[in-house]
Structure 1
């Protein structure tokens, strides 16, 4: 392991905010996309719809086995790469997360460390296949019309709304999505944590940004997620630390400093408390697990 940083593939700068193509063995959504066989992450969201065949992919070093029909959603922070595939058919799509309403994305992901895979029935597969096929046709034959961009964005939004409903139907024990103040506060808090956890480590800092009290923030987040605000922050910190331990050659000290900790020993204690083992033990253990696949 010699990399100092996790490789980042960029959608920004390509002059588009949506890329889509039929699935190929390389999972590449465009001909000029960088090599995806090595571990990497994006500055955009990715969707892999498998209609038939078999895909083995690593997401944050977890082995994900897809045997169609199913959908894998990958967020910008998650490190991933394909391992193997067999007789695959489906779609690969990449898009700017700004297209999708924050509430819809939040309903599909509780934290950056979670992997979202949805199994599809025949009706769901038919609906998504038709939508992706039409989206691909529009992207491939994009015309200079006044509402063309709006049309494309609405199709991506419709796709994710359908996936959110599928996810909800498979998790009926979860509280129904709503636009209540509690849900909105929790979604905004998680959005801030995702972007600012390197700088802000305490709930009070986020409460100030949200113009609410720390007590109200904690009570609200606990009610909606089942976790305290502190736990959500720590999960994001440790999740990113785990990626850096797995996919870079940086030392524990370097990782601690990159994540905004002046005291690397304190970072080590925090990591050990949250994950149940030290950073070094985690790195070594995951190497052993990975070698078994």
Structure 2
């Protein structure tokens, strides 16, 4: 092993003895353990650092070490926030003010439902500014980035429930209706849903019951079904899906799950065991847009979320989404969003 030599300090350069000792100690460490990264230019770096931070008492002596990056988009965890897989209750304006994290853009790892009773709750969901008004329900999917803005004189009921506590058929329904907007309830169904909320809250308070969790789970799933059925009634009044709609539904579900890694229409067709031509015919007939358009829009939605809510550079975001060719990613973003990623980031900087 080649031994590193101690730095011969020039007497004409005034550097504190303790800094000289630290550099030479670093070299000694290298000679003892060559796996330690030795920065041969460390002496000059420390000197420059000393000159620029002459008045500072602390000095960073590890120029190769970088601070860890902040998470792209914060995720509120069910276990951290509620300590269990189901939470239901009623909140007033004074209580809502204590939920500081709700005012910052985030995702949840659970499904969230609101029933607005009094006042209006402004909320921003994936770049759309919405208002949950009195007698309205609102559903937020775990994939959606959202935050609450300023509000006053508000009373609302809420339900938070994770995948494990949702019945599989209801989980599938929620995937189908996502994304949605606040939905106004007619007086009759509003009364039924309000009574269901009240019953579920009362059940949540009788923890001594032996069948407590089963009772709470069943009552909250009933509430989820009631809300989901209202959204479905608007999107498909007949309740019967055509062959084209069933295939489009399967495609959208697969796209949501695989968009980060699967980009080619033929790959989705293979997953659904049909031809690419037929899949495209089904999707275009149902939605008015091609398979490729849906794929691109889903990718760019995720890019927008990262550009808006994270501190990553555009190139880092492109790479995270699987685009090593940054110019191509920029062209795709511009095509779908109508502006370049740089312009979007500047326009939406917070």
TM-score with structure 2 length normalisation?
0.70
Of the three residues 80, 87, 91, the one matched with 1:23 is 91
Deviations 1:174-232 (A, max 9, x none): 57333555444322322221121111111221222222222222222223333222222
Distance 2:286 2:92 in 1: 39
Structure 1 window deviating more from structure 2 (57-66 vs 72-81): it is: 57-66
**Contact 1:26 / 1:36 at 8 angstroms: preserved in 2?**
no
CA distance in 1, matches of 2:121, 2:274: 45
Answer 1 or 2: which has greater strand percent: 1
TM-aligned CA deviation for residue 149 of structure 1: 4.7
Q: Does 1:252 align with 2:318?
A: no
Structure with greater contact order relative to length (CA < 8 Å, sep ≥ 6): 1
Partners of 2:271 and 2:209 in 1: CA distance: 41
Closer, same or farther: CA 283–175 of 1 in aligned 2, 3 Å: farther
Q: Residue 263 of structure 2 is aligned with which of 198, 201, 208?
A: 201
Any residues of structure 2 matched to 1:139-288 within 5 Å, and which?
Answer: 139-142=204-207, 145=210, 149-171=213-235, 174=236, 176-178=238-240, 181-287=243-349
Measured in 2, the distance between the counterparts of 1:115 and 1:106 equals: 11
Change (3 A) 1:56 1:202: same
Structure 2: which 5+ runs fail to align?
Answer: 1-68
Kept after mapping to 1: 8 A contact 2:115/2:156: yes
The aligned residue for residue 114 of structure 2 is 48
CA drift at 1:118: 0.6
| RMSD of Structure 2 on Structure 1 (CA) | 2.8
Structure 1: runs of 5 or more not aligned: none
Aligned length: 277
Q: Which runs of 4+ in 1 moved over 6 A?
A: none
Give the secondary-structure state (helix, strand or coil) at the position aligned to 2:78.
Answer: coil
TM-score (norm 1): 0.82
Q: After the TM superposition, which residues 124-135 of structure 1 pair with which residues of structure 2 at under 5 Å, given as runs?
A: 124-135=189-200
Decide which moves more: 40-49 or 4-13: 4-13
> How far off is 1:240 after superposition?
0.9
State the 1:238 CA deviation: 1.0
Question: Which whole-Å deviations, capped at 9, do the CAs of 1:224-277 have from their partners, x for residues lacking one?
Answer: 333222222112111111111111111111111111112122111111111111
